[in-house]
Each structure stands twice: as structure tokens, then as C-alpha cells.
Homo-oligomer: A and B are copies of this chain.
């Protein structure tokens, strides 16, 4: 049995989750520190390293940890840096994350990438994409992220930032305004936020009765609950969301001809409402040679562990 371990760190805007993981994808121990109480990277890295060391000690893996994998917004695999990350208080300028953490960890190697790429590596190492050489991971959360795997390797592109499929054009004309400054981006429709936007927009534009009308604020979770109760408008919202996703997936297939598209993230929980419209739109918009051939599958990683597992998987490649 393999007796080495890796550490996975998921850096989020509010908290950073840390876990020690074995080769089978079992999280032996995990802990959390705050991300948002630091304005400067120095003190944050110091506490992070402290927490990692403590966790390694407590899990009895001292001397057996091979490396650290980090998933972070705007993380660049090539340079190990985080740049222009609006949700990280210390991440507005360029931060030499991997280098700083490795130094604070007495030279332990550190690999870093963005959250969605980490999720793709995690799925390939421990999850639904085990054994697959060509697949596209789509994370449906607050935004839409992606990690593209070709020939068994994550695509980082010329600059390390490949795989921004949340920002392809889902709607070319009069599309919704996106946080990135463009309009019509896939994530303005097909993220959790996008689903809530669709709900608010449609409630405004029609008189159709819906339980959603009684709510002060609407989140994607509310639309999901309403759909489960058979609310027609809510069901139509998921049908629309699935269609938007499926049409874009068809274009992704034309690019890299993956074996599967793997869905992950909060919104992917609505799979009973999304699968059919996605597959229908996807198959209607691909070339005949791919019709009915590209699998649509859902992440198999336990959701509470997924972010840590994804990040940790990077470290096996160090």
C-alpha cells in the first residue's frame, strides 16, 4: 500500500479549507482557517502554514507528505501566482502564493491552480472521471467554471488561464451583463446566480402563477424547491437553463471531442431537472458523428470533501 500522503487546500474568499488525503482519496483530517481576516498575504501564509503543520502532526503523517496542492480563484499553474482575484482581500495584486507557502513549509513542493481545474484533477484522480483521458469538468456554482482535460492533462494554455468556459457567449444579442464586463456570458444564465436571475426576470415579464412570487428574495435553491413541488414556472426555468448549457456544451464538444462532460457544484444537485434538457440541446447541436455519444455525468466526490480532494490531487503530480 502507498504510504505517502498529500495536502489539499481550497482557498475561498471567506475561508480556506485544509485536508490531509491518502492515495485513495480519503480525507484523513481536515481543518479550516479564515481567509478574509487578512489584508496582507504574509500573515495569512504564516497562519496557513501553521495550520497545515498542525494537521500533519495530528494526522500522524509527518515525514510522509509528498506535497501540497492548492485550488484558488485565478490561480496560475505555470507561475504559482494568484492575480487580480477580487474576492481575496490580499489578492488584488500579484501574489507569489506557491513560493511563499513552500518557503513557510520548509521547502515542501506546492502546486496551484484555479478551483475548477483542481476539481477536474480531483475527479480524474478519485471520482467520476477515473480512467478518462478526455473530459470537460463544468462547475455550476455562483459562477460557471471549467477544467478541461485532454490526453490526461489539464489544459492551461499559453498563459495558464485556459478553461474559462463560463465566459463564452451563450447569448450574442441583448445578453445579460456579466461581472467580467461582457454580456451574454454562459455564467449569467447557467450558474446558481443565473437561475435566480432567470426567475426574477420571468416573474417580472409574465403573469404566470408560481410559488416563487411569494418570496422576497429568490435564490437558485428556492427555484429548485419549487420545481420539486411541481411549480411549472420553476420547471421551465430549469428547462431553459439546461437548454442554454446543452447548446454551449455542443460547441465545447466540437473543440476537444471529450468522452464526457462532468457536472459539479451546487446547481448540479438539480440534475433531475437539468439532465434531459441539457442532453436534448447538446445532441441537437453537435455534428451527427457525436450525437448520443458524449456522456453527461455528475461528480462522484462527496461535496463536503470535493474542494480539498481536487486541490490535493494536484500534489500527486508534483
**Closest Cβ of chain B: how far from A177's Cβ, in Å?**
14
Bound CA–CA A182/B290 (angstroms): 13
Copy total for this chain: 2
Residues 157-182 of A contacting B (Cβ, < 8 Å):
157-165, 167-169, 171-172, 180-182
Nearest chain-B residue to A259 (Cβ)? Answer: B158
Bound CA–CA A157/B293 (angstroms): 13
Q: Which of B165, B169, B258 contacts A157 (CB 8 A)?
A: B258
Q: Which of A157, A158, A288, A293 has the most CB of B within 10 A?
A: A158
**CB–CB B148/A255 < 8 A:** yes
| Residues in B whose Cβ lies below 8 Å from that of A160 | 257
Bound CA–CA A182/B153 (angstroms): 31
| Residues in B whose Cβ lies below 8 Å from that of A150 | 150, 155, 157
Given A180-B288, A287-B164, are A172 and B257 also a contact pair (CB < 8 Å)?
A: no
Among A64-72, A246-254, A268-276, A298-306, which stretch is in contact with chain B?
A246-254
| Residues in B whose Cβ lies below 8 Å from that of A250 | 168-169
Q: Which of B151, B162, B164 contacts A153 (CB 8 A)?
A: B151
Q: Give the number of chain A interface residues (Cβ < 8 Å).
A: 42
| Residues in B whose Cβ lies below 8 Å from that of A134 | 157-158
**CB–CB A171/B169 < 8 A:** no
| Residues in B whose Cβ lies below 8 Å from that of A255 | 148, 155, 162-163, 165, 168, 252, 255-256
Residues 137-165 of A contacting B (Cβ, < 8 Å):
148, 150-151, 153, 155-165
User: What per-residue 1/0 map shows which CB atoms of A273-299 lie under 8 Å from chain B?
Assistant: 000000000000101111001000000
A-B contact pairs, 27 of them (CB 8 A): A134-B158, A151-B153, A155-B255, A155-B257, A157-B257, A158-B257, A159-B257, A159-B289, A159-B293, A162-B255, A163-B254, A163-B255, A164-B287, A165-B254, A167-B254, A167-B287, A168-B250, A169-B250, A169-B285, A171-B172, A180-B287, A180-B288, A182-B285, A251-B251, A252-B255, A255-B255, A255-B256
